[in-house]
Structure 1
């Protein structure tokens, strides 16, 4: 239980730190947010809990394939906001389009025999 609380606290601190940096500089906030810090933490937590490098490798492989459809969010959201669409509606639309991109990616990967 303590270990889980530490994981949650460290992860939350990371997210808060990025948002605080972004208040001062969106460039530096963007750089920090674009780093695979969440993935690195997940790799560390997974390996620490299981000691299974194969699981970490499998997770890393999955992250690789699913980074591509996640980029839809970062394209659609600023385009909608720049066109004056309300923030919450823009976020909803961009999230829905990202979910569709994930589904499409999973379908394409399955068609080519890529199993994650």
Structure 2
């Protein structure tokens, strides 16, 4: 897909299909998924694991089996999507967008954009 709105729609459809296919997604995984989405990708995997009484590794394995990607990857995608959406309204305020989306700093946001999209934030905006 050429534009990011289409790419995110495809990703959301994939995750929704995985959720629908899951014969019996555990309540714990459903809860963890809702926490990641509801927090805008800002919830730490270690916090989710602690809340569930699981190890991070166990949570990541169960989450990946049910959803198709790990909780950290989902968090990165959710934050990236939010940052890209905010960039349409806060033109060139990358430091502010980074802070709003939970990135450590603007450099962290730039690294995530390069990792996930292969481009800098400015090139995508």
For normalisation by structure 2, the TM-score amounts to: 0.31
Larger RCO, structure (CA 8 Å, separation 6 or more)? 2
The structure with the largest alpha-carbon Rg is: 1
Structure with the larger helix share = 1
Normalising by structure 1, we get a TM-score of: 0.32
